[in-house]
Amino acid sequence: MKKKQALATVLAVSMVGSMLAACGSTQSSDTQKSEAAASAETTAEASEASTEAESTASAETTEASASAAPSDYKGTIRWLNFKPEVADQMQDVAKAYTDETGIKVQIDTAASNTYQQTLTARMDSDEAPSIFVLTGATELAEWKDYCRDLSDTQLNSWLTDSKYSLKDDDGVWGISYGLEGWGIIVNKGITDKYFASSNKSTDYTSLDDLYTFDALKAVVEDMQSMKDELGIEGVFGSTSLKAGDDWRYQTHLMNQPLYWEWGGNDKIDLNGKVPDFTFEYNENFKNILDLYLNNSLIDKSLVGTKTVDDSMAEFALGKCAMIQNGDWAWNTIANTDGKTVKDEDVVFIPITCGVEGEENMGLNVGASQYMCINSDLPEEDQDAAIAFLEWLFSSETGKKLVAQSLQFVTPFTTMADAEYTNPLFASENDIASKGKTAYCWAANLIPDDQWKNDYGASLLEYAQGQKDWDKVVKDAVDEWKVEADIVNNQ
Amino acid sequence: MRKSYKKYYALFVIPTLAAYAIAFVIPFVMGLGLSFCKFKTLKHAHFVGLSNYIYVFTQNSGFLGALWFTVKIAVVGVVTTNLIAFGLALLLSRGLKGTNFFRTIFFMPNLIGGIVLGYIWQLLLNGILIKLTGNDLTYSATYGYWGIILLYNWQKIGYLMIIYIAGIQSISSELMEAAKIDGATYRQTLHSIIIPLVSPSITICTFLALTDCFKMYDQNLALTGGAPANKTMMLALHIYNTYYNRKGFSGIGQAEGVVFTILVLVIAGIQLKISRSREAKEV
């Protein structure tokens, strides 16, 4: 009887233990992890549970390996990373800092398109991030209670231009860690083949001629008719208008009409209120969208099933010659299995849409992600986080990691001598050196996701031939009024 | 023996009770409170009274659209899943060869998560639709509607079937035999014996299917995501989008959530009452 009772107790205990362990492995919170470790009875089980939890939570705390730590800070610096494409590289950064200073750094990465959700949840937890990312002024309004004023930090003094910070009259609340540029990414190998072909029917001879919409359109349509000769399935990759994958069009491509409507770099205040919007340049937007849709490797009725990744893979495999995306796409292209496009062939040309003066314009370049320090944490945690960031953007190790592993083009003077490996950065510099002006990120002033998602859905219906362009424009303008009101008056 | 039960009572009840409180009761009460607040994170919530609810009922057009779509899914979904599940249960409780095998097969889809199912069915349906019509699921709300119904049936039928089988098997064989001796046809047996006697199962199954349809989220998200233009968006997905897509709308999303809970409670309550009263009359 005694034996049986003992057995029952063991069973019960192990049941409870495994229940908690299972908890830890599905939830991405580290409290669960330590709970599981604490309550599971046998050590073997405990260690198993915690390793499992670690791998699924995509969070990794690199333990202090060196015993000689120059700092007496005992806490953990937590960075809630915005960019899933560098999630692994960020872990290297954390490890490098821990190796050098003994301070623990934990990087958590929010899944694509879920940053705000993840941030909201984490801010309420005991392990709130010390460094988090905001994407613009409209988000600052919501999170200002949590932002530390960074005006007196070295980071702020290193900025090459104060427009790369998120600020208002009271202070500097966020500092950009990466300038991103986007335009049309071209596989130069294929376009060179076209320019050299005797069958072509245009007079253009190089990518340098493609700085106006008329030229781009003529070349693209000619290339589309010669696709067999060029060995491609279509000039443009799939226009990914699947819900959640439509940001290249509902946000990024909108930069062009918004920029022109609001009067260009000098007149747009990226830290200001959401301006009025009449979609004055809607015909121009339609021009370029139609060009994408009609000269693609898929029929335009199928764009609702395509994702950004599909599109990047098509480009990497050489099935198409052009896609619209930004320099962040390089990692995806470079890591595609069976990639055929050569590194040196990956270059940018600007997006053009038929507006007068666009031949002098270059890429869209701007800061869209700002690092903020959580002011809700104790002072020492905030200071440690700032020290970490200063190390990252000024020490030799840090700079190398930023430039070659994370591949951020930072707006800091300390990073001026960094060497980059991303070929798209070289192309950006090349275009800037030709004296072309960069478009600022006017699209950062789009009121909210509600507008973006509904507009994206509208574009999909247009592509499928179910919605007139006039109706697309009208809906976009009407909804803008509603959303802008909500954002400006909150 | 009874004494030893009592001794372990706490050991078995407390973990479950604690889990229920932590995962359900406490968040629910907090959620109720937050629906009267404007907030971004829990630490910085400001009380705003009824304004969130007023917004939900006066200005939020999408809420009613999503509600109507959900009702349409629920009506058809409840009827089809229950009819098919009951039919299968009848078929698989007659001692045919391979009964257990088929029961397992029918039950299996229920073990796969809704998100995975949603993506798999999206691929399947898109493949068929593109072949037949040249368009995909996002083309028309009708496609999306029937896609959700199909997916839901495929997932839920096996589960309901098991409940029905249990109900049918609990009917005493004497009754069935007596009916046979009295010369009842199969149709008569079905109508006068089987259906009345499994009516407790019918109550459970319709309840499960109904609440399930109203709460459906992952299948909806993965299969259509609301496309085209939010026309296939069900209530739960709408609430999520309200909460996150606009700045400062967490409170309104929360209020929608509370309204939604009350709605499901009321509908499920009415359904239970109706089917319970039928049970009492017929047995």
Who's near A17: CB < 8 A, 6+ residues apart? A39, A40, A41, A42, A45
Nearest CA in chain A to B59: A482
- Number of CB pairs, chain A paired with chain B, less than 8 A apart: 92
The pLDDT of residue A398: 92
Q: What is the pLDDT of residue A463?
A: 94
| Average pLDDT over chain B, rounded to an integer | 89
- Note the pLDDT of residue B1: 55
- What pLDDT was estimated at residue A12? 54
Contacts of B46 in chain A (CB under 8 A): none
Question: Residue B157 — pLDDT band, cuts 50, 70, 90?
Answer: very high
Flag whether pLDDT at A36 surpasses 50.
Answer: no
For residue A7, with 0-12 CB atoms within 10 Å meaning exposed, 13-18 middle and 19 or more buried, which class applies? Answer: exposed
The upper half-sphere exposure of residue A52, i.e. CA atoms within 13 Å in the direction of its Cβ, equals: 18
pLDDT of A217 > 90? The answer is yes
Q: What tokens does B83 get?
A: 């009819």
Q: What type of residue is A434?
A: K
Exposed / middle / buried, residue A345 (Cβ in 10 Å: 0-12, 13-18, 19+): middle
Q: Is the pLDDT of residue A218 over 60?
A: yes
Distance (Å, whole) CA A215 – CA A222: 11
Q: Is B113 on the interface with A (CB under 8 A)?
A: no
Q: What angle do CA A382, A387, A389 make, to 5 degrees?
A: 95
pLDDT, position A22: 41
Of A28-32, A196-200, B3-7, the range with the lowest mean pLDDT is: A28-32
pLDDT at A298 over 70: yes
Alpha helices in A202-340 (DSSP H): 213-225, 227-230, 247, 255-261, 282-294, 308-316, 330-334
Cβ-in-10-Å burial (0-12, 13-18, 19+) of A35 comes to middle
Q: What value does the mean pLDDT take over residues A215-243?
A: 94
* Dihedral in degrees, nearest 10, Cα atoms A328, A333, A336, A338: -170
What pTM was estimated for this model as a whole?
A: 0.80
Residues of B in contact with A124 (CB under 8 A): 41-43
Q: Poorest-confidence range of A291-305, B93-107, B154-168? A: B93-107
Q: Which of B8, B230, B247 comes nearest A457 by C-beta?
A: B230
Q: Using CA coordinates, name the residue in chain A closest to B127.
A: A305
Chain B: closest CA distance from residue A346 (Å):
32
3-state secondary structure of A48: helix
Give the integer Cα–Cα distance in Å for A299 and B101: 44
Tell whether A34 is within 8 A of chain B (Cβ): no
The token duo for A89 is 């590289």
- Nearest residue in chain B measured CA to CA from A122: B41
Positive or negative, the CA dihedral A188, A194, A197, A201 is negative
Q: Are A36 and A46 in contact (CB under 8 A)?
A: yes
CB A322 within 8 A of CB A248: no
The C-alpha of B252 sits at a distance from chain A's nearest C-alpha, in angstroms, of 13
Residues of B in contact with A453 (CB under 8 A): 241, 245
Q: Give the model's pLDDT for residue A231.
A: 94
| Rounded mean pLDDT, A180-202 | 94
- Give the C-alpha separation, A301 to B208, whole Å: 38
Say if B104 is an interface residue toward chain A (CB within 8 Å): no
Chain A residues in contact with B225 (beta carbon < 8 A): 243-244
Residue B3 confidence (pLDDT): 67
- Map tokens 């398109």 to a residue: A113
pLDDT tens digits for range A65-88: 333 334 678 899 999 999 888 888
Chain B interface includes A142 (CB < 8 A): yes
pLDDT for B71: 94
Distance from CA of A71 to the nearest CA of B (A): 31
Task: Please give the pLDDT value at position A5.
Answer: 58
Q: Do A301 and B40 touch (CB under 8 A)?
A: no
**Residue A35 near chain B (CB below 8 Å):** no
pLDDT at A45 over 60: no
Q: What confidence category does residue A367 fall into, taking pLDDT thresholds of 50, 70 and 90?
A: confident
Q: What domains can you pick out in chain B, each with its CATH number?
A: 52-282 (1.10.3720.10)
B85 pLDDT band (50/70/90 cuts)? very high
Assign A110 to helix, strand or coil: coil
Instruction: Give φ, ψ of A185 to 5 degrees.
Output: -85, 130
Could you read off the pLDDT of A12-26 as tens digits, one per residue? 555 444 444 444 333
Q: Is the pLDDT of residue A56 over 70?
A: no
For the cut 70, the answer to whether the pLDDT of residue A8 exceeds it is no
| Residue A209 touches chain B, beta carbons under 8 Å | no
pLDDT tops 60 at residue A258 = yes
CA distances (Å), origin A383, targets A69, A369, A378, B234: 17, 21, 9, 46
Q: Quote the ipTM score.
A: 0.80
The answer to whether residue A30 scores a pLDDT higher than 70 is: no
Question: What confidence tier does A243 reach under pLDDT thresholds 50, 70, 90?
Answer: confident
* 3-state SS assignment for residue A420: coil
How is B237-280 classified by DSSP, letter by letter?
HHHHHHHHHSTT-HHHHHHHHHHHHHHHHHHHHHHHHHHHHHHH
**Tokens of residue A482, six digits:** 């509603």
Among candidates A312, A339, A353, A360, which has minimal Cα distance to A185? A312
Domains of chain A plus CATH, in order, are 70-180+366-427 (3.40.190.10), 182-364+433-488 (3.40.190.10)
For the stretch B128-138, pLDDT in tens is: 999 998 888 88
Residue range B187-199: mean pLDDT, rounded: 90
Which of B40, B43, B229 comes nearest A461 by C-beta? Answer: B229
Q: How far apart are CA A214 and CA A209, in angstroms?
A: 10
Q: Tell me the average pLDDT of chain A.
A: 85
Shortest Cα distance, chain A CAs vs residue B247, angstroms? 6
Highest average pLDDT, of A38-47, A65-74, A105-114, A212-221, comes from A212-221
pLDDT for the residue A269: 87
Percent of all residues in chain A with a pLDDT value above 90, rounded to a whole number: 62
Instruction: Tell me what the mean pLDDT of segment A353-369 comes to.
Output: 91
Residue A35 has pLDDT above 60, yes or no: no
Helix H or strand E encompassing A167: strand A165-168
Buried b / exposed e over B232-270, threshold 16 CB at 10 Å, is bbbbbbbbbbbbbbbbbbbbbbbbbbbbbeeebeeebee
